[in-house]
A and B are shown apart, each in its own frame.
Chain A
Amino acid sequence: MSKDHEQDTVTGRRDFLKGATLTAGAAALAPVVAAADPAPAGSGLSSGSTRQMPPPPNPNDSMPPSEDADPIVLTSSGGDFMVDVFKTLDLEYMATMCASTFRGLHESVINYGDNSKPEILTCPHEEIAVAIAHGYAKMAGKPCAAIAHGTVGLQHASMALYNAWCDRAPIYMLIGNIAAGNKRLYDFEWQHSAQDCAATVRDYLKWDDQPTNLQSFAESAVRAHKIAMTPPMGPVLISLDQFLQEGPIANRGALTIPKLTQVVPPVGDPAALDELARMLVEAEYPLIVADRLSRTPAAMGRLVELAEALQCGVIDKLGRLNFPNQHPLRGGDVEKADLILTIEVDDVYGTVHILRDRVNRATIPMMKPGAKLVTLGCADLFQKSNYQDFQRYDGVDMAIAGDGEDSLPLLTELVKKRLGTGGQSQREARGKALAEAHNDLIERTKQRATIGWDASPISTARMCAELYHQISGLDWSLVGSGVYNWPHMLWNFDKTYRWNGDSGGSGIGYLLPGALGGALANKAHGRFSVCIQPDGDFNFVPSTLWTAAHHRIPILYIMHNNRAYHMEYMYLQAMANRRQRGIDKAYIGTTFRDPYIDYATVAKGFGVHGEGPITDPKDLAPAIARAVALVQRGEPALIDVVTDPR
């Protein structure tokens, strides 16, 4: 234990005595009452319990040494102050898998804080809690708190935190811990405590702290929010000592809550942006590639303005929705480009190379000789070493550090200054060719969608078309999808909230709760949330549906039920072919065949409207209509559609 912590413990004991409500009578009666009262049923302390009573206090224990120093009630608690702090941070929700190490804060949130800002979201699993916070943060543009046991809970939450880290999404993670060993009770409190809880997830946190007093907590809580929201955004964690939450506040008037001031995101160096503007204007075929560019709804308009000024193509990698998918400039050819600008793209190497998944993993450059590559974004400002989400290194021609969204206005202004009137016809011709290619691609996509239109299992094209037909007149938002090509080609994604990105780290189990988080943020705006939900992901976290039902979060889940972990099915097939054996056995260990899973029944069990399995495409439209009506009334609904694989 550090010296600071020792002092804090001593101070804490004094404060504990000062802040407690002690009456002589109560203090004197406490041990008598305790001895006379039978243990409540189910408490584990009844005579029939196998749990042993704790041993008598050790005289050398640092706890209050005598009974009359042991108060029975409190008039304040550290948890109350923590709630005061959270209310200054505009945290609307706290996604919670309840646990004893944060019972002090939990009680403060629901009673002292009146279960408002933050409001508890009851989650049946920590992975669900964090994934809800993840989806919410991207849609709402601000963090949602998630809270868990510091040990077993955080281990459950770990993969969801990793997804958020890879996805550059802010998560305000809170955990409970009992820091002082001499304050832990029986075996499980030792098992649920750690010297350094955050160690298990620190590789994918931006920052963490374990404050030892309330003033320190206030400062760390505000700092954590600021760090999480500073691009590149990411998860932060605060470990809350149980006794800091449960103990009284000695002097509330002495505690201060620092003001939260968000960092103004850095804009790229003006000289570098001017050089980039020159390169863009002079290029014959400039191409923009964007991934996690959109932090706010403003980003899309800014990117459109730049692309239209240049009449250049834009490839949207869809980490966020960055560019309208029906815009004639959406698209472009990496192999044709003489200048490629990536904005907030992590996988730059994979953007400009073909990587072959064969016996020898060949790498084929896509850029033509002499073409230039420029990166703009925040990824270079913050990286860690263990997990390899930073992707393969590429030797780019210019790397501009700065927030993509906030650098775009200056870049566009500099481009427009350089454009003048020269080269206008060339730009117009370029834009016209891109528009023709875009239209051609859409027509070919529609044509391909006709194949197997009436087939069973139902084609994903038919499922997506039937769905879009019924939601296109609503203010819809696709908060998650296991099917990309049909919606992103044939639907009209014209606002950033139409799409909420994916998991980021490809950790399965994100989509069902992540989509619910997006839907929760959409609820405040009256948007219609829909998720095309893969069955494999569903099976990690099905109890998410209970949270949807309990909190009346309107969302329509359309199951993309191909009855497999289909990507793995294909990988296994490729292995079998490569080794020239057993090519008809790849379903073993990769599919859900015997028995089939009835997702509608599962949904009903969690209190959610469920319909299906639907195998005849003619049954889709009426089922979707019924579910849409329910969701419009504020309820969640699920339709199980048995689909062809992709």
Chain B
Amino acid sequence: MHSKNLSWLLVAALGIAATCWGAAADSNRIANGKRLYITDGCFECHGRVGEGGAFNGPAPALAGIFSRRSSLEVISSVRKGPNDMPAYTDKVLSNQELGDILAYLRSLPGPADPKSIALLNK
């Protein structure tokens, strides 16, 4: 990653963090994040509860994403769009809105132990 891009992302990440973490990630922010996640199309590829899906190729699960990816990496993915993912620039998704979406993603329970579901152990 070029240093210029990295700097840009860091500034963006700090801005998003300020909007997200400056205020408590309360239920209003989560609710708004969920609304944006649905209306702005994130769910189309990643599922309504972040279970993942497919576009031209597999779209990763976002529930529990922060156990595998840093906030910076997630923000970078949203803003730049890796692989075939469309980029959500700040022109169409503000830092405040992205912060709310991240709050929603943080609220989602990650994957459970498959052994806890009998149907997955046939």
Contact = CB atoms under 8 A, between A and B. Distances in A.
B41 A584 contact: yes
B91 interface: yes
Interface stretch (B6-14, B22-30, B108-116): B108-116
A255 interface: no
B47 A577 contact: no
A574 B86 contact: yes
Interface string B23-50: 0000000000000000111011101111
A366 interface: no
Q: Is the interface of B mostly helix, strand, loop or mixed?
A: loop
Interface stretch (A54-62, A241-249, A442-450, A627-635): A442-450
B81 A452 contact: no
Contacts of B44: 566, 569-570, 573, 586, 645
Given A570-B44, A580-B92, A644-B47, A451 B111 contact: yes
B114 A452 contact: no
Q: In this complex, which of B39, B43, B49, B112 has the most chain A Cβ atoms within 10 angstroms of its Cβ?
A: B49
Interface residues on A, range: 35 or more
15 contacts: A356-B83, A443-B114, A447-B112, A447-B114, A450-B116, A452-B49, A459-B51, A468-B119, A468-B122, A573-B41, A577-B89, A580-B89, A586-B44, A646-B52, A646-B53
A515 B84 CA distance: 31
A87 interface: no
Interface in A313-365: 356-358
A84 interface: no
A457 interface: yes
Nearest to B52: A448
Interface string A584-610: 101000000000000000000000000
A472 interface: yes
Interface of A: 356-358, 443, 446-453, 455, 457, 459, 461, 465-466, 468-469, 472, 485, 490, 566, 569-570, 573-574, 576-578, 580-581, 583-584, 586, 644-646
Contacts of A443: 114
Nearest to A574: B86
A452 B54 contact: no
Interface of B: 39-41, 43-45, 47-56, 58-59, 61, 63-64, 81, 83-84, 86-89, 91-93, 108-114, 116-117, 119-122
Contact of A581 (B52, B59, B92, B114): B92
A449 B59 contact: no
Contacts of B110: 451
B48 A450 contact: no
Contacts of B93: 583
B120 A449 contact: yes
Contacts of A569: 44
B79 to A, nearest CB: 11
